Structure 1
């Protein structure tokens, strides 16, 4: 048996939903934007790695998060009283580390989806999502689902704060284009968290809750204008933008070009703009590639939200 799973890039926070809102991405060009993990039968476990960002991963595969996913999954099988034959895994690392595109989440989700299919789907989606959150927490230092949930489930995900369901899917504004641009520099999630205040004033707290509530309501009513008006980050962006060269200039340009919203994807440095016009989206992307990208590692895409989430590409 040979199973290959694909897990897309994602936007954490989506500006207004710090740690509790996330979106899965799919370039309109048809290009893949995510990691893949393959599992095949083998006499003993092994992990190999390839892809444009493989060199940025730990040199020892025992330190690779995909190896940790395998160990976690096998232990969970044993807890169910199920003995598992070993398998060989291969990670194609296509997302840059510390990019704000859910790179670690993509590897984790692809690994668990591949393993679950390889071992005849012993775990349901909510259990898998809980596992994914636990592994993501090993990297970021705290369990949060705003990348793994949309990466796994697709579309726009809202975290419930409960064990079941961990996340619920929200309606998607289908006419929106999401312009994403990775500058090429790296921002660690832990460093981006350290820059945030430990306490917030009552005005920002009320604004956060109000915006999220109105945004969810607007999505369910299909009110794209009001939903876009709520996409303002009062929690992280005022502090994190100092880590991102040319952030303010990029926001000004994109808003002048008709962007409905502009913000930081996850912890950054990737930024995103939302628009309902594809020509404007392409214009923004061209400018961002010229001005926001800092080195040869940077890239950008015009995307839609990927409603499918993670997928099994082949199962033989």
Structure 2
């Protein structure tokens, strides 16, 4: 038997639509992600528990975890009977890589129990494939950081799918989930099918600037480059009062802020813990829509997926 934890993640990181992703962990050490326990069994069994387990499909074959098991069996060309316990601690449709947490934790746990028949690259490819079936297109900007940890640049090269970027150790990432859901598939549909050339050039310039600033450790240049010209102008209407919220976070002292993945979670970055705490308090009082919403001050989680039991 093994218990695996996979952390939440911020996809896009503003400037890197479907290209950048960052694994996160609250500074108080709380585990923000899903846990999966796998053990050998006489037949397939799936048990759901956790804060958000009541939001999962009642038909087990519609559950992401079942899809992971089914795809894994196909990959290794054998039917493997196991018992899976999913602790669904991440809200679905939150923009924090909820589906990625379940996918990563499940596949790593199953692979471990059966003595790692799939390589790290094979696992990551399978993670991207399953994520794509849920959201409408293959993308790695949640599964890669949740699996590998840190800040990931998605390359999709034939040999290297994802590459770790240097991060800024003095950055505090304030994340706020308002307690409502935004469908990833719907958030992708709202984007235009074509972009103007000048928008593409501008976004490429800022993305290149962010990567350069990361390697040269110019934190304020990196923060200035974290601007989203691809998704935010269209997705902002799906979030509660996002424009005013963003202005307020910058007024308090955030050096950058944006939408986490498809939303509705938003993030703000500060290099000062006092300012991060002020942003956190303001978001708790003004951005959360109900009692299920939450705010966390986070670091980048460098570990990624890991065994915890």
Confirm or deny a common fold (TM above 0.5): yes
**Structure 1 counterpart of 2:34:** 35
Q: Does 241-250 or 19-28 show the bigger shift?
A: 241-250
* 1:100-131, Cα deviation, whole Å (9 max, x unpaired): 00000000000011011111111221111000
Structure 2: stretches of 5+ with no match in the other structure: none
- 1:264 aligned to which of 253, 259, 262: 259
**Structure 2 counterpart of 1:281:** 276
By how many angstroms is 1:85 displaced?
4.4
**Structure 2 counterpart of 1:201:** 196
Q: Find the aligned partners of 2:39 and 2:195 in 1 and give their Cα distance.
A: 49
- 1:225 aligned to which of 220, 223, 236: 220
Task: Give the alignment's TM-score, normalised by structure 2.
Answer: 0.98
Q: Find the aligned partners of 1:70 and 1:163 in 2 and give their Cα distance.
A: 25
Pair 1:113 & 2:112 matched:
no
Pair 1:52 & 2:51 matched:
yes
**2:73–2:80 contact (8 Å) kept in structure 1:** no
**Structure 1 counterpart of 2:92:** 97
By how many angstroms is 1:84 displaced?
6.0
Structure 1: stretches of 5+ with no match in the other structure: none
By how many angstroms is 1:161 displaced?
2.6
Q: Find the aligned partners of 1:49 and 1:56 in 2 and give their Cα distance.
A: 10
SS in 2 for 1:239: helix
Alignment of 1:1-316 (within 5 A): 2-78=1-77, 83=78, 85-314=80-309
By how many angstroms is 1:163 displaced?
3.2
Q: Find the aligned partners of 1:207 and 1:53 in 2 and give their Cα distance.
A: 39
By how many angstroms is 1:190 displaced?
1.1
By how many angstroms is 1:246 displaced?
1.8
SS in 1 for 2:51: coil
**1:275–1:281 contact (8 Å) kept in structure 2:** yes
SS in 2 for 1:210: helix
SS in 1 for 2:75: helix
SS in 2 for 1:101: coil
SS in 2 for 1:287: helix
Q: Find the aligned partners of 1:219 and 1:203 in 2 and give their Cα distance.
A: 24
**Count of residue pairs brought into register by the alignment:** 309
